[in-house]
Amino acid sequence: MGQDKERFTFQISIPVVYDDYIEGVLSAEITVLLSRVFVTQAFNKHVAFRLTQGQSAIFTHFEHIEIARENSVDLDSPNLTFTYITDDGPIREKVRSLRNSILLVLLVGLAISFFLFALLGYFSLVKNDKVLKIKRALWLMPIS
């Protein structure tokens, strides 16, 4: 593969098979404009690509990506860098949603625990008050 300004040159070779034997190889060298080889629109709203060679770069649209994370692969022979750009925005939204769900569960658990503790304390006080009234009544009973 090679590039001369806005033209991209690549070679393709395929074997010619006849009666299960390889009879030869068909090779072609193709030179086209870069804009005709690479699609410049986004494939997915959370993914973008960039192909860089020296000062030239071809890329899909990535303006829609909120939080970009880039992973690059360098190809030494044609001196190309392929960059895969993903959007971490949806991942952060899911993490935030999960954190909010966990906090809500903890809050509900705390509220239920507090309510049960208060209810248990109330019944304990009511029971103690009844026991004290019975003990007081027994002490105050006249002995005959």
Closest to 85 measured CA to CA, from 52, 47, 59: 47
Closest to 85 measured CA to CA, from 65, 99, 105, 102: 65
Residues 40/49, Cβ–Cβ less than 8 Å? no
Q: What is the pTM of this model?
A: 0.45
Q: Which residue has the higher pLDDT, 85 or 144?
A: 85
Tell me the pLDDT tens digit for each residue of 15-39: 888 788 888 888 888 787 766 665 5
CB burial of residue 31 (10 Å; 0-12, 13-18, 19+): exposed
Residues 59/40, Cβ–Cβ less than 8 Å? yes
- The pLDDT confidence band at residue 104, using thresholds 50, 70 and 90, is very high
Tell me the pLDDT tens digit for each residue of 35-93: 666 555 555 677 887 888 777 777 777 777 888 888 888 877 777 788 888 888 888 89
